[in-house]
Amino acid sequence: MKQLSYIAVLAGLTFAAGNALALDGAKLYQEKTCVACHGKDAKKTLTPNYPKLAGQNAAYAEQQMKDIKSGARANGQAAAMKGVMHLVNDAEIKALAEYLSKLK
């Protein structure tokens, strides 16, 4: 019985990890409206004031998005981002940051 519980726990962890890894950052970038301001390639922004996101360090981008969402960051263009950050959860933020870091 103990071994069966252990296997069930491992299966649950594997499933949860698989779901996080299955998130498609490129698809999220389109669906969550990032493309509207940061451009389809994350290089050509709507205005010069918006940052280019292609090639950005993943950990940095993830933290910035989380800080904007929580309100910890309220400078620069954070107000514009705050309005859309309710559309993404932490797993999606991570997937977006990973996707953006791989763009050149």
75 domain residue, yes or no: yes
16 domain residue, yes or no: no
Which CATH number fits the domain that encloses residue 57?
Answer: 1.10.760.10
List, for residues 58-77, the tens digit of each pLDDT value: 999 999 999 999 999 998 88
**What residues make up the domain containing 92?**
25-102
Q: Is the pLDDT of residue 4 over 90?
A: no
- Give me the pLDDT at residue 8, please: 46
Phi-psi region of 50 (alpha: psi -120 to 50; beta: other; left: phi over 0): beta
- Give me the pLDDT at residue 14, please: 45
Among 69, 88, 103, 80, CA closest to 31: 88
61 domain residue, yes or no: yes
> Mean pLDDT throughout 6-25?
57
Is there a contact between 103 and 41 (Cβ–Cβ < 8 Å)?
yes
Block residue for tokens 């559309």: 87
- Give me the pLDDT at residue 12, please: 53
List, for residues 17-70, the tens digit of each pLDDT value: 455 557 999 999 999 999 999 999 999 999 999 999 999 999 999 999 999 999
Q: Considering its fold, how many domains does the chain have in total?
A: 1
- Give me the pLDDT at residue 2, please: 54
Q: Is the pLDDT of residue 85 over 80?
A: yes
20 domain residue, yes or no: no
12 domain residue, yes or no: no
